[in-house]
Amino acid sequence: MENLVEIKKLSKNYFNKKALDNLDLTIEEGKVLGILGPNGSGKTTLIKILTGLLRQSKGEVLIDGHKVGVYTKSIVSYLPDRNFLYNWMTIEDAFKFYSDFYSDFDLKRGEELLDFMKLGKDMKITSLSKGMTEKLNLTLVLSRKAKLYILDEPIAGVDPVARDQILDAIIKNYDSNSSMIITTHLVRDMENLFDDVAFLKDGEVILKGNAEELREEKGKSIDEIYKEIFSE
C-alpha cells in the first residue's frame, strides 16, 4: 500500500523551545493513525504543519506527493481544536461555504449527519453550545470525501453522550479509501478506531506501530501502554 503522508526529519522550534524534534512518520492510504500524547507533546504543532497553518523549521512533509499548499488543502479535511467558523454564519451558511470551496463536499451526507447530530440548519453559530459546535464542525469535516481527514482532539471537552455520537459518526462515515489522523489524550474512548498509533513525547515519536500488534506484543491495551509511557 502507498503512503499518503510522508514526514521526514521534521523539526519545529519556537525561539529556544523545540516543539518537534526530527520526527519521522508515514501514513498509509486507507489507514487511521492515532497520534497520542499529553498536552504540550507537539500533537497540535504537527497537525498545524500538515494543514499549512504553521511552517516547519526543518524537514519535509509530503501529502499525496505534494508539499503543503493549495493542492493539499483541497484534499485535506481538517477539524481544528477550536471554533473556527465565522461568527456571522448560520449552519446553512456554513454548509454553503463548504460546498462552494470544497468540490468533494457531499451535501446529502452532510444533511444526514446534521439530522443524526440533531442540529437545525437555521441555528446561528454563535448560539451553539460547546458540544453542538463540536458536532457541527465534525459534520462539516466528515461530509467531505477527502483523501485525508485530520481531526485534532475531536472529543475533548464534550459530554459523554455527545462523545458517543461523535465516535459513532466517525465510524459510520469514514471512507475506507481515505486516511485519517486523529490526535487525542483520551485514548480509552478512541483506541478501537486506530489501525496504527504513534506516541508523541516532547516533540519526538517514542513508540509507533500497528495497534493490534502492539496490544499483542505488550499484552496490554493501547490505553494501558499510554499510561505506562506517560506516567514515568
Partner 1 sequence: MGKYMKYEIKGTYKVILGILAIVLIATTVLYNYTAKNESSLIIALASLLIFGTFLSAFLYIVGSFRKELYEDRGYLTFTLPLTGNQILGAKLIVAFMWFLILGAITVSYNIFMMAKTSGETINFKELLSLINSSEIISFAIMILISGISTLILIYFSMALSRVTLRNRKIGGMWFIIFLILSAFIAWIQMKIVTISPYYINLKDWSIVNSNISALFQIEIDNASLMFSTEDYFYINIAGFITNIITGIILFLGTGHIIEKKIDL
Residues near partner 1, by CB under 8 A = 14, 48, 51-55, 69-71, 73-74, 76, 78, 80, 82-88, 93, 97, 100-102
Judged by CB, which is closer to partner 1: 102, or 194?
102
- At closest approach, how far in Å is the CB of 13 from partner 1? 11
Judged by CB, which is closer to partner 1: 150, or 169?
150
Judged by CB, which is closer to partner 1: 41, or 44?
44
Judged by CB, which is closer to partner 1: 117, or 141?
141
- At closest approach, how far in Å is the CB of 90 from partner 1? 11
Q: Is 11 left (phi over 0), alpha (psi -120 to 50) or beta?
A: beta
Judged by CB, which is closer to partner 1: 89, or 167?
89
The dihedrals phi and psi of 82, each to the nearest 5 degrees, come to -150, 175
Hey, what long-range contacts does 222-226 have (CB within 8 A, 24 or more apart)?
222/34, 222/36, 222/187, 222/191, 222/194, 222/197, 223/187, 223/188, 223/191, 225/199, 226/36, 226/187, 226/199
- At closest approach, how far in Å is the CB of 180 from partner 1? 16
- At closest approach, how far in Å is the CB of 73 from partner 1? 4
- At closest approach, how far in Å is the CB of 76 from partner 1? 8
Report the sign of the C-alpha dihedral through residues 172, 176, 178, 183, in that order: positive
- At closest approach, how far in Å is the CB of 70 from partner 1? 5
Judged by CB, which is closer to partner 1: 77, or 165?
77
